[in-house]
Amino acid sequence: MVNIQPANDIKKASEPENFPLVSVIIPVYNSELYLAETLEAVLKSTYPNFEVIIRSYPML
């Protein structure tokens, strides 16, 4: 299991409410091997207001 922590080096002036919400949509289809790496890359972002949506394809 990968322990993923968001970036904490954001300046206090950059509070999330000052930024629009960004949705990061990650489609997953036979790519489980890359999911942890992808999530780590997204969570290293310094943008303070985002959500991550992981969607499995094909939909059943």
For the chain, give the number of residues. 60
Note the pLDDT tens digit of each residue in 24-49: 999 988 877 899 999 999 999 999 99
At residue 4, does pLDDT exceed 80? no
Return the closest-CA partner of residue 49 out of 19, 29, 10, 24. Answer: 19
**pLDDT range class, residue 59, cuts 50, 70, 90:** low
Three-class SS string for the chain? CCCCCCCCCCCCCCCHHHCCCEEEEEEECCCHHHHHHHHHHHHCCCCCCEEEEEEECCCC
Whole-model pTM: value is: 0.63
**pLDDT range class, residue 18, cuts 50, 70, 90:** confident
More confident residue, 32 or 56: 56
